Chain A
Amino acid sequence: MIKFRKNIWEFANPNNFLSIANKIVPLFLILTIITLSVGLVWGLFFTPEDYRQGSSVKIIFIHVPTAFLAINIYFMMFLASIIWLIRRHHVSLIAAKSAALIGLIMTLSAILTGAIWGKPIWGTYWAWDPRLTSFAILLMFYLGYLSIWQAMKFSDKIGDLSSWLCIVGSIFALLSRYAVFFWDQGLHQGPSLSLDKEENIDNVFYFPLIICIIGFVLLFLTLLLIRIKTEIQKRKINILLNARDG
């Protein structure tokens, strides 16, 4: 049983985090497999064709979740960096570090599926449309954040530097996005999901899409938990080695 904890910051202790993560990773894994397979199978085989886009609309069930994650993982890294800078919780820094690679892959898949989808509908794989450009920008900032971890050895100082890089990157990614949108609204349709029900896509696509998004988020969380666990154990090994060798 997971005991009820009074304070969310207790998760910030690496050992508390490890013990909880060990318990919930299998649960998350099972949930991920169930939701992803249900969502994707529903989306692939049990949805009708769109009257304009034909069967190519089935790409939405991976394009939207990956794009959603690509943006939100960067936002999560931004929050985690701020928490590390203010409250110095190691798990927060490690979470930001481990999320970056997953975010990069999600951005790449969103761009890939978008390009494949764009060819039959717009007649081109890539156009310098504002939304597409924003994703290219996001990709650059992911690469910048990953390269600081690649180039330098893990230490608290590099943690600070990378957190600042992430914060500065978020600000400029947002600014670039608005700069790109200033001139035109582009080919890409508006957001597929919003809280305002009027604008949403049809219900037939809506429910499997929601399940797919939940599935991808669960996939992200599972991977993130495992990566954080690995990273904490790496730190442990380093400390033990240092202690043994003096």
Chain B
Amino acid sequence: MKLNFHLLKYELLFALANKGILLSTSFFIILILIVGIGFGQIGESSEKTLLAIIWIAISLSSLLSIKTMFQEDFDDGTLDLYVLSNTSIETIIFIKSIVHWITTNLPIIILIPLISFPLGITIYHSILICLVMLLSTPALSFISTIGAALTLGEKGGNLLISIFILPTFLPIIIFGMKISLLIANSTYDIMAHLILFALSLICIAITPFITSLIIKIHYT
């Protein structure tokens, strides 16, 4: 356990050194503004479009710094060290995904009430939407590790990761958008909430194992 906290601490330090937070939040803000302005010009800025933009922006920005997740460690040999250390690769992947979520998605989710309040979603509803996102977006970080593992050692793998991974975000995006829309209209569908969280938890539970299997391919 001590080792895991040590790894968590240092992984956070590595991620902060790579300026992940700054990049992802600025990307998110710029994306929201660009799409918002575009919709504003054609006179269609309702809360519906805003919610869709938020979900799309959050899924795009969770792919931003994913390429470096294993690539950096693979290039400088730290991954070798992890493989030989007293923890399993699955644990390392778990820790890395959590760190990735903390540095890319968490700051964005905290920003969301600030953005959605002026655009006509009440503060109460936007906090509820934030809660839904807090529980479901970790799965996005976990799924994107699969893409990072698949393109390990491949130059220009960023585009490939988007091609492989964006379609796999669909179940979570579909449920997330629909639920957020329902919340904004003050209706609640408990069943859908439960399914969304179940999906998210399943992804969190399974993806480290799949990713570790894929990483092992690069070691043969």
Question: Is chain B in direct contact with chain A in the complex (CB below 8 A)?
Answer: yes
Kindly identify, within residues 64 to 123 of chain A, every residue whose CB is under 8 Å from any CB belonging to chain B.
Answer: none
Interchain CB contact under 8 A, A165 and B164: yes
* Given pairs A148-B150, A172-B171, A180-B174, 15 additional interface contacts (CB within 8 A): A148-B160, A148-B164, A151-B154, A151-B160, A152-B154, A157-B218, A160-B217, A164-B146, A164-B214, A168-B168, A169-B164, A172-B168, A173-B167, A176-B167, A182-B192
Q: Is the interface of B mostly helix, strand, loop or mixed?
A: helix
Q: Which of A5-13, A20-28, A137-145, A199-207 contacts B (4 or more CB under 8 A)?
A: A137-145
A138 to chain B, nearest CB (A): 10
Most interface-central of B146, B164, B175, B178 (chain A CB within 10 A): B164
Residue B163, interface by CB 8 Å: yes
Q: Give the 3 A-B residue pairs with the shortest CB-CB distance, closest first.
A: A140-B167, A172-B168, A179-B171
Hey, what's the 0/1 contact readout for A141-166 against B, CB within 8 Å counting as 1? 10110011001100001001100110
Hey, what's the 0/1 contact readout for A167-179 against B, CB within 8 Å counting as 1? 0110011011011
Interchain CB contact under 8 A, B164 and A137: no
Residue A183, interface by CB 8 Å: yes
Q: Is the interface of A mostly helix, strand, loop or mixed?
A: helix
Residue B213, interface by CB 8 Å: yes
Residues of B near A164 (CB, < 8 A) are 146, 150, 210, 213-214, 217
Most interface-central of A168, A173, A176 (chain B CB within 10 A): A168
A149 to chain B, nearest CB (A): 11
Residues of B near A140 (CB, < 8 A) are 166-167
Residue B111, interface by CB 8 Å: no
Residues of B near A172 (CB, < 8 A) are 167-168, 170-171
Residue B186, interface by CB 8 Å: no
- A160-B217, A182-B195 are known contacts. Are A165 and B170 too (CB-CB below 8 A)? no
| Chain A residues touching B, range | 20 to 34
Which of B168, B171, B192, B195 meets A169, CB within 8 Å? B168
Residue B199, interface by CB 8 Å: yes
| Whole-angstrom CA separation of A151 from B153 in the bound complex | 12
Residue B220, interface by CB 8 Å: yes
Which of A144, A168, A179, A182 meets B170, CB within 8 Å? A179
Kindly identify, within residues 138 to 165 of chain B, every residue whose CB is under 8 Å from any CB belonging to chain A.
Answer: 146, 150, 154, 160, 163-164
B93 to chain A, nearest CB (A): 14
| Whole-angstrom CA separation of A180 from B150 in the bound complex | 27
Interchain CB contact under 8 A, A179 and B175: yes
Interchain CB contact under 8 A, B217 and A161: yes
Residues of A near B195 (CB, < 8 A) are 182
Interchain CB contact under 8 A, A176 and B160: no
B149 to chain A, nearest CB (A): 9
A186 to chain B, nearest CB (A): 14
| Whole-angstrom CA separation of A137 from B167 in the bound complex | 7
